[in-house]
Structure formats: structure tokens, C-alpha cells
Amino acid sequence: MTKEIKPSVEQKDAIQKKTKSVSDKKSAKKLETVSPILRQYDTMKTKHPDAMLLFRTGDSYTMYRDDAVKASKLLDLSLTKKGDHIEKVSFPHHALDINLPKLVRAGARVALCDQLEIPQKEKVEEIKSTKKTNDNAKEKRDVFNNKVVEIVGKNNHHAFLLPLSSKALNVETTKGEAAILDKMQVLRGRVTFSDTEGNKLQLRELKTASILQLTEVIPSAAKAYKQKHLSPQTEIKPAVQRNSAAPTTEQQQKFIDDVKAVMGGTKMVVLLDFGAKKGVVAGTDEDKGVSLNRVYAWNDNVSFAGSVPGDDSKKRRYYHPESIRPEFYNYLISEVQKAVAPQLITENGQKVTSANMFESPKQEGKYFFYARLDGVGLHPKAVKEQDVDAFMKNEISVKEMFAKYYPSKMAKQLSKDEFDNLKLSDGRELTTFRVYKQRNETKPHFGEYMLYAEMGDKRFHATPLTHDQLDMYFDRTQSKSQLAEKVIGEQLHLKTAYEKYRFPENIPVQEVRVRKGVDGAWLISATVKDRGQTPEKKMTNNDLYSLFKSKTVSKEQLGAKYLTEDVKELSFTKKLERSQGLKL
């Protein structure tokens, strides 16, 4: 008989403490696994136990736990479970107007909970000290920059220069390198420094301690320098050496305002007619014969791009109003006016500017026609040789050139209903019309735009679109049904698709024959008077259906489609004489 050993009071207390500790650890672990959104949900639920909580999460409203179970029955929505086996039910935010009344009518009290901030992981709440340091550093940089600018001004056109070499300011960069500041520059509201070795230093490259050091010294030094060297009537000296003809700040500002007024809302204008004008730019000696080809409008300033004789074709120089002699300001404004003035206006009210012809830089003798439509450059079009001569001799106008090489831009745009029309010329109607770009590298026509169509249960092969057809589609000058007739008209067995096929009128074609070969293929040939018969060509199933079933094409039209080149070749051969026959 075994004797029962009872634990002492101390042992019982130890066991209870251990059990409680394990239980607390499990509870803590369980709390740690609960997501932040659920923790918020549970907190709100304790405050509003009698309400169903609708939590906005992204584009949906979600309910959890018992609320989710109840809502799934009232709203007839499927109940799902999170990874931690917690029930939830969701519906799109735009369905709130439908589901909220249902819950209210069912007698439920509903509380909507919208997010004020994006939920973040718990660890994000512990802001790292480095982040605080970075934010503080940026704040100190901004304070210093604004304080200096407040004293010396933004200086949009000429930089304010403050010599610092006599002050022996030693600073430390963020890379731990030491530097001695030589001068400070303020241009367009931005403060930068140069050290004694000629290196340029941004404020963000300096340590916070150095910024604080500069904050104590620079503002007072800049103020004293400005009072001593620059009276209210004296202009700030420019950052670079200019000649005596340098424009004043008032002249520059008026020039900038005038150019921007002419450009309107356009950010860039091409100056195609601007040739080399000696002395336009007064910056350096090598810029005496400059050719400007573009003007840019940006923020509160303008700039010009160009080149000088001897420059590489890829090199582009930039000039600002302060580097252009004021006597050329009016000339430049007139050039910009000419560049933005519409050379013609389309039926849709779009303005055509910069329409001109240029020679290819890569291929001598090849010319392209180029234009800008409402400020947007169009893809250059290769010009036919006869049109090059005619355009140079002014025998063909810009409007005629534009209409010939950009016909869809000149045509009237269809309304949305007209464009979406899918009814064909024979009364049938397409059920599907789609234009897409072939992105599968293993497929034929990779990189091309394809047209695919369906009519009921019939599918028509995707066919690549030409540039002209793409222009019609994107410019909406042809309806979808008209475009389908042009691209897959023969697949659709349309009579209009075959009207373009005709034999040359000067060739006497006597007969077109269609027969079935021994291998089951259908062949077509033609007889030319006094010249004999052409070789036979195999016909496609589409054309056979159009000939025998839909009867939308004639033998002569199919003959012109398959045999035109053979007929031409046969008609140009020498007539066969009887005397030239073989003798046995």
C-alpha cells in the first residue's frame, strides 16, 4: 500500500506561480500575434460592445469575430477566416449605401470606423534615433537657407557671392572630411559653398554641427557685406564675367515675361527658322556665332538651347537671359512668335506649328516632314522625292503637305457613339472588336499592333495594322466597323473589300479560269490575248468562300488580286509567231 504524499504550502505556491507565469507568457505571445488592426478593433469593441463595427481597410469595409458571423447572415456574404482563424467578412466601400440600410433595418446598431493613418507595424511606432537626427538636420538646413535668402534675396538672375577666405571657416562633411570654405553663393533661393580647393558643397553634404556653426556666422557677415558693397541702386555682380552690354535685371525680367506670354502654357518651342546670328550670345568668345533651336519655359525663368560652328552634332549649349545681349531680346521674341503661330488649323480646331521639311542627318538626300500639333511633336514622315522638289519650289503648300502625310490629323474626329459603331456595310454587326500590341516574343508580328474581331461564334485572325490605320484608330477618324472592313474585309467576305482589285485597262485579259487541282487545291489563271496563259496560283479558303458561298467577289477581281504581276509580265513579252514553232 503506497502512501500519498501531499505537497506542502510552499510547493503549492511555487506550482501556482509557475503555472501563472506560463499562462501569462502564452497570453502575451497570443497578444503579440494579433495584428494592429485587430487590436484596434478589440479596443473599440470594449468601448462600444453593443455596436457592430465596420472598419474601413483600404477600399473595403471589414467586420471581425462575432460581428462578422452576424453580418454574414444579415447581408448574405461569405464568411472567411484570417491566418489566425479569426472570422471576418468584407465588402467594397461603394456597397456601403446598400449594406448599411440592411443592417439598420435588421435592428443592428452600426458604428463606422475610418482610418486616419495608414496602419503600420508595431515596430514602426518606435521612431529610430537616426530618423530624428535626419529630420532635425534637414530642419536646421532649411532654417539656415531661409535666413540667408531673407537677407540677400533669391537672386534669380545673378548670383550673390560672399567671400569667406578671410574668416577661415573650417567645416566637416557628412563623409567625415574637413574643408575650409572660400565663398558662399546664393542663386535662385539656394545656398551653396565652395571650398579653398574649388569643390562645390551643398548644405546636405555638411554635418549638422557645421550648419549650426555657419548659422552663427554667415547671416551677420552677409548682411554686413551687402550693406558695405551693394547700395539699393547697385546691382548684384553676376557670377561670371560679362561685357558692358550685359542686361539689367529689369530688362531680363521683362524679356522673360514677354517670352512666356508668347509661349502661353507651352513648355518648349522649336525654333526651326532661327539661323546663325553672330553676336546673339554675349557670354564667351567662342559663342559669337550661335544658332538657337529651342526655347524652354520653366518655373520663373526661360532658357535657350543651341550650338556654335564646330560643335559636335550631339552637343547642346544652354543660354539664359543674362547671357544674351539686350539688343537681341526683341528679335528672339519675334522668332518665338513665329514658331508658335499656327501655320494652319485642323477641322478639329487643333493648331499646327513648326511644320517643315528637313534632311536626314544620317542619310543624305532623304527628307522628312515634321510638325507639332497643339505643342506636341508628331512622328516625322518620309517625304516622296517628287514632293521634296515641289515643296522646295513652293509648288505645294504646308497645308497640302500636312494633309498628305498626316491625313488622319486633318480629318474630322468622330463622336464616341460614331466611333464605337460595329455595324458593317452589308448589315451584319461585329460582337467583338479589339486592338492590342503583340507582346509575346515567340509570336509572329511581335511589337506590332493587331486587330482581332468576332461575329457571333466566328473568330477572325488577328491582323497587323499599318501606320495609317493606327492613325485612323487613335485619332478616331474612322469607326471601328470601317477600320475592320479595311483590315479584315476579305476575312469578313465583304464585297467592298474586293472592289480595289482590277486588271490594268491597257492589258487585254480574255479569260480567267478557276479549277480544282489533283491534290484538291483550287487554282486560278488568266489568258492574255495573243500572249498565252499565266502560271496558275493557289487560292485561299477566304477567297473561295467569297467566290462560291457569299458570292461577294468575281473571278476577274480574284484574277487581278493573284495575277496582276504575271499578266503585266506576259503582256510585255514578244508575240509568239507560228514560223517560230518547233519542226519535227
Q: Which residue has the higher pLDDT, 365 or 525?
A: 525
Query: With the CA atoms of 51, 55, 59 and 65 taken in that order, what torsion angle do they form, in degrees rounded to the nearest 10?
Result: -90
For 13-28, write each residue's pLDDT tens digit.
Answer: 665 655 555 555 544 4
139-163 tens-digit pLDDT: 889 899 989 988 888 776 567 888 8
What pLDDT is attached to residue 463?
93
Kindly state the percentage of the chain with pLDDT values over 90. Answer: 29
DSSP E strand stretches across 122-228: 160-163, 170-172, 178-187, 190-195, 200-202
Give tens-digit pLDDT for 264-313.
877 888 776 565 555 565 444 445 567 777 888 877 788 888 777 666 66
Reduce the DSSP state of residue 163 to 3 states and report it: strand
User: What is d(CA 420, CA 433) in angstroms, rounded to the nearest whole number?
Assistant: 9
Cα–Cα distance for residue pair 310/557, rounded to 1 Å:
60
Using CB atoms within 10 Å of the CB of residue 563, give its burial: 0 to 12 exposed, 13 to 18 middle, 19+ buried: buried
312-330 tens-digit pLDDT: 666 677 888 887 878 788 8
| End-to-end Cα spacing for the chain | 138
For residue 579 the three cell numbers come to 514560223
Grid cell listed for 265: 502654357
pLDDT at position 421 = 96
> Mean pLDDT over residues 245-268, rounded?
83
Q: Report how far residue 514's alpha carbon sits from residue 526's, in angstroms, rounded to the nearest whole number.
A: 9
Q: What is the dihedral of CA 379, 381, 382, 386, to 10 degrees?
A: -160
Distances (CA, A) of 403 to 340, 342, 370: 20, 15, 12
SS3 582: coil
For 163, residues 6+ apart whose C-beta sits below 8 A from its C-beta are 182, 183, 225
Per-residue pLDDT band for 31 (boundaries 50, 70, 90) equals: very low
Residue 122: the pLDDT is 43
351 by Cβ neighbours in 10 Å (0-12 / 13-18 / 19+) ranks as middle
466-515 pLDDT, tens per residue? Answer: 988 999 999 999 999 999 999 999 999 999 999 999 999 988 999 999 99
The answer to whether 35 and 120 have CB atoms below 8 angstroms apart is no
Sequence-distant (6+) residues with CB within 8 A of 85 are none
The mean pLDDT value of the chain amounts to 80
Q: What pLDDT is recorded for position 309?
A: 65
Residue with the larger pLDDT of the pair 2 and 170: 170
Q: Between the CA of residue 208 and those of 66, 200, 213, 280, 567, what are the distances in Å?
A: 54, 18, 9, 45, 87
- Can you give 106-149 as a three-state secondary structure string? CCCCEEEECCCCCCCCHHHHCCCHHHHHHHHHHHHHHHHHHHHH
pLDDT of residue 407: 92
Instruction: Residue count of the chain, please give it.
Output: 584
pTM of the predicted structure, to 2 decimals: 0.47
